[in-house]
Amino acid sequence: MKRLRIAVDGSDQAVRVLRHMVLQAITPLIDPCLLMGAGIAIGEIVTNAWVHGDGRNPDKQIELCLRIQPDSLIVQVYDYGPGFDPCSLPEPVPGQEHGYGVYVTRQSVRSLKYYRTEGRFCAQLVINRKEKNA
């Protein structure tokens, strides 16, 4: 199993670069048809970590860990925020633009879970490397 670990300071551009680097890393590892969904999911959890976890604080780091497994990629994104209970998230409501991030992330990956570890909050994605019916 191979690992990749990247940490960036919290800023708009750093978040963009972090996502870009991870996408570059995973592009040869998964079916091209799954790449778009993976990119959306990674973008959502990285920006959520920066905005809701670290409160856009440039002094707080966002760390991303990628683990490569035979049939999946595990992406963990750590922030220093208080975290939240995903079960408490309201369903997206017509007329509002909140609550869609977790919704579209769940649609795009095999699983999404949140937990607290060593004083940090972690969002963990499991992304399929191949299409189910391939």
By C-beta, is 40 or 65 nearer to other proteins? 40
DSSP sequence for 91-124: PP-TT---SHHHHHHHHHSSEEEEEEETTEEEEE
By C-beta, is 4 or 104 nearer to other proteins? 104
- The span of 13-21, 58-66, 72-80, 114-122 binding other proteins (CB under 8 A) equals 13-21
Separation in Å, CA 5 to CA 8, 14, 60, 128, 131:
10, 15, 16, 19, 26
Contact with other proteins (CB under 8 A) among 59, 71, 85, 97: 97
Q: Residues, the chain, total?
A: 134
Q: Tell me: does residue 100 bind other proteins (CB under 8 A).
A: yes
Q: Tell me: does residue 53 bind other proteins (CB under 8 A).
A: no
Q: Tell me: does residue 101 bind other proteins (CB under 8 A).
A: yes
Q: Which letter does DSSP use for residue 80 in this model? A: S
